[in-house]
Every structure is written in structure tokens, then in C-alpha cells.
Structure 1
Amino acid sequence: MSANNYIATPKRTKEILANYKFFFKKSLGQNFIIDANILKNIIDHTGIDKDSGVIEIGPGIGALTEQLGLHAKKVLAFEIDQRLLPILGDTLDQYENIQFIHQDILQADVKASIRDNFSEDQDVHIVANLPYYITTPILTKLLQEKLPVESITVMIQKEVAERMAAKPSTKAYGSLTIAIQYYTMAEVVMHVPKSVFMPQPNVDSAVLKLTIREKPPVYVANEKYFFSMVQACFSQRRKTLRNNLTNYLSGEYDKETISMMLDNIGIDGMRRGESLNMEEFATLANTFYEAKQH
């Protein structure tokens, strides 16, 4: 197929929208990509090859789906918008390796879909152009379910991508950073201009690649408690660790006890949450969790 016939061109996208009298739903955060080169660059970063399986979330009219179909063995795409299914069925009719599931990814049993559609020894990747308003809930679900996938590559709001890939002691670093980097190695691999979308969004985009870790980089005694303590340390960014923890643990410990426990593990209570690396957060959470058990 010549590049001029790809779905991801302004001309072809406009034709498809006109043919099906399709209108964008703001509530679904729909922005379609109209530049095939951008899509090919994204796929280059994913590590997909002709033997790979791919899960796509929100295929839209199939711009990214088409490119995935050309590069992977099988593509399974989840689409929530019923109106798009007949469009996808027509525009991607010639691709026998693409299958659509009409379901909200937040409700889907993705693990079962992977088991039913891909072979056990196949490398599976998740690729998506995610709606900005629902990026974090989707990624949180996918990571917490510990899916048998190699990587998750997503186009998301630039600011959110930078928060997920941030380093300690930076403005972007926060509890979301820790949650993402506990499960993955996160890297912003591309910046994407607004001009390659229809309609143009109000914010800049970036492509974030999350390579799934075989095991977390730190030992934590209890994951739920670890994440709750991390959130507590960032609850008021300008406050010290000691003050944030005193607020969070009121009724359990007074300020002096908290100071003493922090001193015992070599963490200065006057520091702020953004200055701690993941190892320090793990030590802090494990210390307070173990104290709770006695």
C-alpha cells in the first residue's frame, strides 16, 4: 500500500469522517493522528516485530491500528465507542491479523484476552494513543494486573509523561512517578506536536515507553502500605517529611516518635518527599509497616 492511502493522512481521515458522518465526542477525548511517519516512529520505539502480539487501546478510525497490523503478527484492539466499529471493519477489512473488541479497557479482563489470543511464548506489547482524561486510571489498571507483556508504549499528555519518567528532586517527580517506576522502566522517547492530530488538542503530547520490570527495584513488605506512605509524603509538597507523616499517622505516632524513627533509618525528617529516591521510600515504608505489626 502506498503511503498516500494510509488512514493517517489528512485527506483520508477527512474522507472517512465524511463518509460515515462521524463527529468527535469530547467526552471520549477523541483526537485522531493524521501523520503516518509519526506512527512509524512510535512503532520503531516499541520493539515490535513480525512475531509480536499487540494490544491496542482506543483504535479510533484505525490510523495506528493499520501500522501495527503491518508490523506485528496479531493486533487485538479494544474500542469503547460503538460508532467506530463499522468504520474499523471497513477501513481495515484487508487486514486478517487485526481483531476488535467492543469493550471499555477499564472493565476488560486483559489477562484472559492475552491468554486467548496469543501464544504463551509470544512477546506481547501494549500500544495506544490514550485519551488524556483517563491516562492514569488505564495505566494503573494495566500495571497492577501484572499482565504478561514486555512493554507499554503510549502517546499521552507531555506533562503527564514527564511526571511518569521523572527523576528525584525535580518538579515533575511525585507519587505517580514512584507508582509507575516501581513496575516499569519509564522513558519519554518522542515529543509529538499538536499539528499531527485531528482535531488539534490544547496540550502537547509525548510518547512514553514503559518496559515492564521482571521484579520491582526495591523490596517492600506491603505494596498497598508502601504506596499509601509515598502518597502521604507528597500530600503537601512544600511540607517536610516529618510534618506530612505526622498528619498522616496522627493517632498512631506523635511528631517526636516519627522524628526518632526517621533518624534511626538515616532519613532527615526536614527533607521533602521529592528528595527521596525509591530505595529511601521503601526503607521508610517498611520501617513503619513493621512497627505496626508489633
Structure 2
Amino acid sequence: MNLYDIPPRQTQSYLTELLKSRNIWPKNKMGQNFLIDLNLMDLVVNSASLQPSDAVLEVGSGTGSLSNRLIENAGFVLSVELDPAFQKLTEETVIERDRFFLHRGDILKGKNQIQPQVTEKLAEITSMPGISGYKLVANLPYAVATPVMSNLLISRNPPTKIVAMVQLEIAEKIISKPKSKDFGALPILFQSLAKVEIVRRISPAAFWPRPKVDSAIIKIDPSPLLRSKLVFEGVKPEDGPLCFRNFLRGLYVHRRKNLRGALLSMPNNKLSKAEIDAKLVILDIKGEVRAETLSPLDHFRLCSQFGGGVFVSGETDETAD
């Protein structure tokens, strides 16, 4: 039976009393920092432009406060919670259970894959009558924010929108431009697949317990048109984003090298320096430049020349920045 007939508003006093009554203490290592600024919670929900035809993927249900707000506006909510204590709490505090499903476990299977059970459940939910797609709307734990968003973005079933609270450093990196210190594999991947923007910078005071760094609400609008352009010889169209992601990872393993050196040092490279230079001449790109000075379009052109099917399965030890 649910504890409340009306979803409570998540204030600091409400949270402290609720968790104290259950002998639950937030775990810093799991990124358990709960949003207590109610205006910002409204901003997150409003920025997602939710409709009854939308399903929502939430990562980190916590106390169920945002979950309830999402259920009010969307057609269905799939929430993922790793912590058993908060799994139980979510089950008790979520009101409309007929349009809510809680996945008990991790959102990720390793750093490069969304948990298959979550992927399967998303496919099941988005095939329901009246549901046309899903959006990721979440206060993402800092440790998983980048792999969750990037793995969803390149998946064969990407979200139609992402609105997430993330570490400010991550948000600023995603929107960074060529020749800046933050520009690299991560922003190139995101900007090649979506329109990205920071909605609002958030101070630590908006959360309880307070994190040590600033956060931001980031909005990402995946573009089917941009995605359709990531087509490479020898690669299935649906695997184009994966190929591009892995190419970028390999290219930025040796970030301090010039472009020629970075290409020579890429995993699985079998080309000589002369062969690389010949391909760069075709692209009209100088081998002496650094990769981070080039545009996302130039990186696509590089992948077309140097990528190929090997980068669909090829992995590196580095995450996407």
C-alpha cells in the first residue's frame, strides 16, 4: 500500500525525516545527492516537454519524488535504481503504479552497454498502444552520466530527448567547440548526433547532501537527420554511430600527438605514414594539426577514410573522453 495519497514535495526537511525514519543514509560513492530546489525540479520536467505519448527512462529513482512528477506528465515511466534501500522506498512512495515499472539493478552492463534487461523493457514499453518513443529524464549519478547518455545516444533505439542533471564539467564539455580545451571525442559524438544546450547551471545548495561541485541541467535533442548521415563503407547503417564513437575513442587515445601521429597510433591501424598522408591529401587536411582543432564534420570525413567496419567492434581502454 502506498504511504501517501498525494506525492509529497521533496524539501530538505521532508528528506531528512523520511530517510531518518528508515535508517537510510545517502551514499556519496553512488552519487546520491537529491534535488531539493522545487523550482529546478519543475524546470527539469518542463524542459522535457512531456506528452502522454512519451515514455520516460529515469536513472536513479531515489525517493520517488521526480518519478511521481514524471508519471503526472508522461504515458509511462521506467525507473532504474541500484540501491536496495531506495528500491523499497520508491515502491512505497510512487503513486500511479499502473504506469510505472521499477528495474532493480544497474543501468549499465560494463561501461559500453546499457543493461540488456533495460533495453528489452524499453522496447516493450515503446511498443505499447499510444506510446511513440521514450525520453531520458533524470538526476544522473555523476559516475554514470557520460556512459548512460552516450550509450543511449548511439543505440539502435535512441531517446527522442535527454534532459538530465549532470556535473557542470560534463555539460560544458558536451557543448564545447573546436580549439577549446574540452573539445574531443565526447562533444564531437554528441554534436554529430544531436542539438545540445545547457538549460541552467545549478549550485551545490540545490541538493541534499550538497555535492562538492556545480551541476547543470543539460538538454539534448537527438536528430534523425544527423544520425542518417553517419554512414560508413562496410558498416550497417544502424551501426554508424557505434562505428563513429569507436573511431573517435581511438583517435583521442593520444591526444597530445598531431593528427598524423594520432592516426598512426590508433588501435588496429595497419597503414603506413605515407598511406595516411595520402588519405589526408584527399581530405585536404594537414597531418600537422591537432584533431581537437577540427570540426565534427571533419571528424566524420576522417572516419570515412580511416574508419571502416573494424570500428564497429573495436574497443579501446578509454571512455568517450
TM-score for the superposition, normalised by structure 2: 0.80
TM-fit CA distance, 1:267:
0.6
Aligned residue for 2:166? 156
3-state DSSP of counterpart to 2:19 = helix
- Counterpart amino acid of 1:187? E
Aligned residue for 2:316? none
Unaligned runs of 5+ in 2: 1-5, 109-114, 311-321
Taking only aligned residues, the RMSD between alpha carbons, in angstroms, comes to 2.6
- Counterpart amino acid of 1:112? E
Matched, 1:253 2:253: no
**d(CA) in 1 for partners of 2:247, 2:100:** 43
**d(CA) in 2 for partners of 1:103, 1:251:** 38
**d(CA) in 2 for partners of 1:111, 1:251:** 32
- Percent of residue pairs identical: 28
Question: 1:233 touches 1:272 (CA, 8 Å); kept in 2?
Answer: no
Q: How does 1:89-128 map to 2 (within 5 A)?
A: 89-93=91-95, 96-106=98-108, 107-118=115-126, 119=128, 121-123=130-132, 124-128=134-138
Match for 2:34 among 1, 7, 32? 32
Cα distance, 1:55–1:137 mapped onto 2, change above 3 Å = same
Question: 1:54 touches 1:72 (CA, 8 Å); kept in 2?
Answer: yes
Aligned residue for 2:71? 69
3-state DSSP of counterpart to 1:270 = coil
Question: 1:175 touches 1:231 (CA, 8 Å); kept in 2?
Answer: yes
Question: 1:164 touches 1:176 (CA, 8 Å); kept in 2?
Answer: yes
**d(CA) in 2 for partners of 1:56, 1:99:** 10
Which whole-Å deviations, capped at 9, do the CAs of 1:89-108 have from their partners, x for residues lacking one? 22224665333221221224
TM-fit CA distance, 1:249:
7.1
Unaligned runs of 5+ in 1: none
TM-score for the superposition, normalised by structure 1: 0.87
Which whole-Å deviations, capped at 9, do the CAs of 1:51-105 have from their partners, x for residues lacking one? 4321211111122112212222322211111111222222224665333221221
Cα distance, 1:88–1:7 mapped onto 2, change above 3 Å = farther
TM-fit CA distance, 1:125:
1.3
Match for 1:236 among 230, 254, 266? 254
TM-fit CA distance, 1:232:
3.7
Aligned residue for 2:305? 287
Q: How does 1:148-187 map to 2 (within 5 A)?
A: 149-187=159-197
Aligned residue for 2:145? 135
Of the structure 1 ranges 88-97 and 253-262, higher mean CA displacement relative to structure 2 is found in 88-97
Aligned residue for 1:227? 245
Which whole-Å deviations, capped at 9, do the CAs of 1:214-260 have from their partners, x for residues lacking one? 14244333445543442343333332101222233797333333223
